[in-house]
Chains A and B, each alone.
Chain A
Amino acid sequence: MITLNLNVNGKDHRLEIEDHMRLLDVIRGPLGLTGTKEGCGEGECGACTVILDGNAVDSCLVLAAQCEGKKIVTIEGLETADGLDPVQQAFLDNGAVQCGYCIPGMVLSAKALLDKNVAPNDNEIKEAISGNLCRCTGYDKMVKAIKTASEVMQERGEQK
């Protein structure tokens, strides 16, 4: 057992966990945040994507122990009192959701991209989500949604 201190969705946590636990296990287990999904356990599908210190990562490939003192954002951390995150809203408005299982990971990969590069081109968008497998939507409406979110975020940035 080890002690782990990490910040998840803006909140500090101090947990006693087993050494071998993956970040995914800590998120879904002790933290009870089931929005992050397991799709393959081998870092191929991206359903477990979270944002770790600003980078989109497959949480099934990250040992929880590696996250000491780090900042993690899961899908539950996106909506605020002001409403849905621009990426979430854009997915909603563009009809980019079907079965939903890939969605939390997909949204976070998109958010990680836009937080670093608010005006990506099509290729940059597709590459950013290329590690998130989706079997239902064919990705097209997701790419459109991310473009929409980009426009909204740029507008908001300009209004500041």
Chain B
Amino acid sequence: MLKRGRGIALSWYGTGYGNGFPDYSVATVELAENGEILLRVGATEVGQGSKTIMPQVCAEVLGVHSDQVHMICEDTREFLDSGTAAASRQTYNTGNAVLKASESFKKALLEEARLYLKLNSTAGLEMEDQKIWLPIFPSRKTTFAELAAHLKSEGRILAVTDSFTAQTIGMNPETGEGVPYWPYTFNAYGTEVEVDTETGRVQVLQAWCVQDVGRAINPDLVEGQIDGGFVMGLGYALYEDLGVKDGIIKNNKFAKYIIPTAMDIPTIHKYIVEDPENTAPYGAKGIGEPTMVPVAPAILNAIYDAIGVRIYELPATPDVVLKAIVADREAKASAKSASEAPSVAAEGAGKNG
């Protein structure tokens, strides 16, 4: 018999190193010889898109297209240490460093323009599309490339570095009082599943992912994280187990460690909620990990809704679900109690003994 059910889950995730660790990020914005921008920043690109969004932040400040901002993050000689690409920290922490460095660079570049254009002050100077000009007297104008050439003739390079340190407070080891993380990213996900009560097989038919992002710097990339996070969560809930026994990994091949394929994906409805975080670059928070966090519980709650049986140990593979269905049926049959049968949890705990 095929039974359908729906489940929801809320979650939260504190980004960054946390707990009072000096979570420090730094970025350098530099004027290239051709008038384009070099962004030297250790926001490692692991596929999540940091190499696309950091230039977007810089481009926004400088009024250029992000195509004109070239990010360097591959050679340790070419950029400063900006912490790890982990803990979903790059967008907020390093994004802030990029924002500050870009703003400081803008100030410095306007000052160079002031000197070059022989003006008293930077008041009224506009910067857009690699051009700097004074609207009240438009013949006073220059370009990024012109300034770069001028600097070069003087043997100078304009490179401005700035940093950002996140605010957290180490927790009291006895009470846990403190500020372990800031900011937190929240979400509310729901799933609809179909359970085959003959085989125990669970399929996720639909998903609704409502994701708090602060601000979506690049909606394509945010959606990509929601899609990817959901599918990783689906694998975590239903398929993945290394089968570690006596220290040996039984499932160390793709044939045995099952991850989702394109055949396993549900229809995913995505909702991006933008409630800006005031200390964040354009309000943006990290989302790389949050997008995975509520998935498994949303699926597990949906399974319960479908078949009235709760799975307490992951993954909810067909044999586990089937065992739980049978155990529940037997418990109900022997009319023990109306409350949840804890037999599955005990069995699960026994597996690892």
- The answer to whether any beta carbons of A and B sit under 8 Å apart in the complex is yes
| Interface residues on chain B, number (Cβ under 8 Å) | 24
Q: Are A138 and B261 in contact (CB under 8 A)?
A: no
Mask: chain A, 121-142; 1 = CB below 8 Å from B; 0 = not: 0000111011111111111111
Judged by a CB distance under 8 angstroms, whether B9 is at the interface is no
Q: In the complex, which residues of chain B have a beta carbon less than 8 angstroms from the beta carbon of A135?
A: 228, 232, 259
Judged by a CB distance under 8 angstroms, whether B265 is at the interface is yes
Interchain pairs with CB closer than 8 A, number = 73
Known: A126-B262, A130-B262, A133-B259. A138 touches B46 (CB 8 A): no
Judged by a CB distance under 8 angstroms, whether B227 is at the interface is yes
Select from chain A the residue with minimum beta-carbon distance to B255: A44
B270: min CB distance to chain A, Å: 9
Q: Are A130 and B263 in contact (CB under 8 A)?
A: yes
Known: A98-B48, A126-B263. A42 touches B229 (CB 8 A): no
Judged by a CB distance under 8 angstroms, whether A95 is at the interface is yes
Q: Are B253 and A130 in contact (CB under 8 A)?
A: no
A57: min CB distance to chain B, Å: 17
Judged by a CB distance under 8 angstroms, whether A1 is at the interface is no
- Pick the residue among B47, B227, B259 that contacts A140 (CB under 8 A): B227
Dominant secondary structure at the B interface: helix
Q: In the complex, which residues of chain B have a beta carbon less than 8 angstroms from the beta carbon of A31?
A: none
Q: Are A136 and B47 in contact (CB under 8 A)?
A: yes
Judged by a CB distance under 8 angstroms, whether B231 is at the interface is yes
Q: Are A139 and B227 in contact (CB under 8 A)?
A: yes
Q: Are B228 and A138 in contact (CB under 8 A)?
A: yes
B221: min CB distance to chain A, Å: 7
Other 17 A-B pairs with CB < 8 A, given A99-B47, A127-B263, A133-B259: A40-B254, A42-B254, A98-B48, A98-B224, A100-B47, A125-B262, A126-B265, A127-B262, A129-B262, A130-B261, A135-B228, A135-B232, A138-B227, A138-B265, A140-B227, A142-B262, A143-B265
